[in-house]
Amino acid sequence: MSTLEVIARVVIAFTVFFILARIMGRKEISQMTFYNFVSAVAIGSITANVAVNPSVSIRDGVLVLIGWTIFTIGMDYLDIKSKKARKITTGEPVMVIKNGKIMENALRKLRLDMDSLNAMLRQKNIFSLKDVRHAIVETNGSLSVVPSESKTVLTKGDMNIFSQKSDIYPMATEVVTDGRVLSQNLSKLQVDEAWLSEQLSKENINSLAEVFYAEVQTDGSLYIDQKNDIH
């Protein structure tokens, strides 16, 4: 290709892409569904081919871009009009914490591990699972959280009345995740598996096999989520 042709291709591809992007409407990346993401990648790939691939004629490339845009807008319109179609193209929100209990099957369905879930909660300024009543992974991958009642009703902190009891640890620390004991974290907290077993026994849990997740709170208490919760 000559330099002039390359420049012409880039200008045309960019102009068409810009116009079609405005027609498709504005949507933040955080609001994009899986289908929106796939469509954006495809249109970007087509535009790049129009700009630099001499085997793709400008006319054919522009027609493909317009066709893909029309198809995308049609699918968006179908999503708005049909709930059944929306379930297929977009999916449904998935509850991963229900009534303070972790839904292991839901995590497996989403291929989401506890480290990722905890990271998403921290982004919501929640540093302990004990503070969560419900958590839902939305169709765009974001996490919506309903705090536990103790975090939503009037507290002593709201009334400037503080307990004399001080925290033992700076933040909640996971000690069992996906049914596995995190010995390194126990060591950091200066406790051992015998202590952990003792705490579990107090909750009538006789085996670590019954525990999906456990977390030592800042006051030294143990938050426990058992396996096989009712979904």
Asked whether the whole model's pTM tops 0.75, one would answer no
Q: Render each residue's pLDDT in the chain as its tens digit; 231 residues.
A: 678 888 888 898 889 888 887 777 655 455 566 677 788 888 888 888 888 888 888 888 889 888 888 888 888 788 777 777 777 777 788 999 998 899 999 999 999 999 999 999 999 999 988 899 999 998 878 899 999 876 655 555 555 555 555 678 888 899 998 788 999 999 999 999 999 999 999 999 988 888 999 999 988 899 999 887 555
The CA–CA distances, whole Å, from 75 to 28, 67, 70, 89, 130 equal: 18, 12, 9, 8, 40
Task: Give yes or no for a contact between 200 and 162, defined as CB atoms under 8 angstroms apart.
Answer: no
> Over the range 47-83, which residues count as b (16 or more CB within 10 Å of their CB) and which as e?
bebbbeeeeeeeeebbebbeebbeebeebbeebeeee
Single-letter code of the amino acid located at 102: I
Centre a 10 Å sphere on the Cβ of residue 221 and count the other Cβ atoms it contains: 13
Task: Give yes or no for a contact between 92 and 109, defined as CB atoms under 8 angstroms apart.
Answer: no
Closest CA to 66 of 12, 126, 27: 12
Map residue 158 onto helix, strand or coil: coil
